[in-house]
């Protein structure tokens, strides 16, 4: 059995800190980001798939956070890392957190692979870069870690938080009022289309431009995303977020539209955590081991952030 077969939540956070360093009061992952507010408007068809009152007719308030992958709060906005979108929906009766990234796969199939992936990328003290031999050894033991880096390297960084799609990577069962269930992953498609930086922008833009870009877009109207269920195909894994799923665009199930209305102070997003296991009636988790591990790992990260704040005061 691999030493990290049952990696503890603290080990996962420690592995992130070893790669990105410890930054006072910052998240261990997706440290750099922008908080915002808006609303979710369910589609007329949504109740066919999900019985939750959040997907009945009527706008639902949304608190959300766009972010850049990794634990470095000073990372360049041009870095070829994932972008994140976390959304908290609540209507008073039920609440739902959506946790999504800008690639359709995660970088690890298990907590063990998560820890090993990061340990292989700890910088050598002399070269200040990861040792290629460590990465090769990791990939030999955990082939699930190859696909997401390959996808990220295949295109430039997103030109805007508003022009990248976001994916849940985890599978959930969506249940309607008749008890009929559909397994699927979630996809958030930008209404503005998918746009990446061109070569000129990659060279000329500053390392921090995404927040200002979002603010500028919001001056002229809401930034919108259409939310869909991508139904699982017969061969699609319900428990391995590192695997691509087959896709039939005509088979997507429309859930509604997220409208981002305004940026907000970090304080609105920082007191707690977005939790992918905060699910409303009619949405059930799979047995995905990464999904099962995330709530506890976020709690560890939050406790450390709060401790840093207390020590500072």
Catalytic residues: 30
3-class state of residue 256 by DSSP: strand
Q: Considering Cα of 173, then 174, then 179, then 182, what sign does the dihedral take?
A: negative
282: left (phi over 0), alpha (psi -120 to 50) or beta: left
Q: Considering Cα of 270, then 35, then 28, then 184, what sign does the dihedral take?
A: positive
Other residues' Cβ atoms within 10 Å of the Cβ of residue 266? 12
Q: Taking a C-beta distance cutoff of 8 angstroms, is the pair 41, 259 a contact? A: yes
List, as one string, the DSSP characters of 156-206: --BS-GGGS-EE--S-EEEE-TTS-EEEEEEEEEETT---B--HHHHHHS-
Between CA 168 and CA 176 the distance in angstroms is 20
286: which residues sit within 8 A by CB, 6+ positions away? 170, 171, 172, 173, 183, 238, 239
Q: Taking a C-beta distance cutoff of 8 angstroms, is the pair 140, 117 a contact? A: no
Q: Taking a C-beta distance cutoff of 8 angstroms, is the pair 158, 166 a contact? A: no
Measured between alpha carbons, how far apart are the two ends of the chain, in Å?
44
């Amino acid at each position: 059995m691999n030493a990290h077969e049952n990696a503890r939540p603290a080990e996962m956070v420690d592995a992130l800190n070893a790669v990105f360093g410890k930054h006072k009061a910052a998240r261990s992952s997706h440290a750099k980001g922008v908080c915002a507010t808006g609303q979710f408007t369910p589609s007329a068809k949504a109740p066919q798939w999900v019985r939750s009152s959040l997907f009945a007719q009527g706008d639902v308030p949304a608190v959300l956070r766009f972010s850049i992958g990794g634990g470095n709060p000073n990372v360049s906005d041009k870095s070829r890392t994932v972008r994140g979108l976390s959304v908290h929906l609540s209507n008073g009766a039920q609440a739902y957190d959506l946790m999504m990234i800008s690639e359709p796969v995660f970088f690890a199939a298990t907590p063990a692979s998560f820890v090993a992936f990061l340990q292989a990328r700890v910088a050598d003290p002399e070269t200040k870069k990861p040792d290629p031999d460590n990465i090769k050894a990791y990939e030999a033991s955990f082939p699930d870690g190859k696909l997401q880096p390959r996808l990220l390297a295949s295109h430039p960084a997103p030109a805007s938080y508003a022009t990248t799609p976001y994916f849940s990577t985890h599978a959930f069962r969506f249940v309607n009022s008749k008890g009929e269930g559909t397994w699927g992953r979630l996809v958030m498609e930008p209404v503005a289309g998918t746009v990446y930086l061109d070569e000129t922008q990659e060279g000329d833009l500053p390392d921090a431009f995404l927040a200002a870009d979002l603010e500028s877009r919001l001056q002229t109207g809401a930034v919108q995303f259409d939310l869909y269920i991508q139904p699982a195909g017969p061969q699609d894994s319900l428990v391995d977020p590192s695997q691509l799923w087959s896709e039939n665009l005509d088979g997507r199930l429309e859930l509604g539209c997220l409208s981002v209305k305004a940026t907000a102070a970090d304080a609105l997003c920082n007191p707690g955590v977005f939790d992918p296991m905060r699910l409303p009636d009619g949405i059930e988790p799979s047995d995905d081991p990464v999904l099962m591990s995330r709530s506890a790992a976020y709690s560890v990260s939050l406790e450390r952030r709060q401790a840093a704040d207390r020590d500072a005061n």
